[in-house]
Amino acid sequence: MGSEAPVASEGRHDRTIRTFFLFGDPATDFSADLVWLAAEVAAGRLDPGISRRAPWTGYDEAARELLGRRLHGKAVLDVV
């Protein structure tokens, strides 16, 4: 995939991936796309929109915040 962005062009930063159905065709290999996405996040060029990160034991509070629409982004729970 190289350095080409799959959803935006040079100078256009207002793009969103609306749907990503990973399990539609088991023969489809998404590894290059996922590597590109991870690299963009790691480089700070793509914001995954995580507004809360907590240990798995905090799932109840995270669920309440999501259901109450108090989070403006995603909740990530660490399972360790």
| Mean pLDDT calculated for residue range 22-27 | 71
Greater model confidence, 80 or 25 = 80
Q: Considering only CA atoms, which of 17, 12, 54 is closest in space to residue 36? A: 17
pLDDT value of position 46? 92
Greater model confidence, 35 or 23 = 35
Q: pLDDT digits over 44-56, tens only?
A: 999 999 999 999 9
Average pLDDT value over all residues in the chain: 81
pLDDT value of position 1? 44
Percentage of the chain lying above the pLDDT 90 cut: 48
Domain boundaries, the chain: 1-47, 49-80
Q: Considering only CA atoms, which of 30, 78, 33, 73 is closest in space to residue 57? A: 78
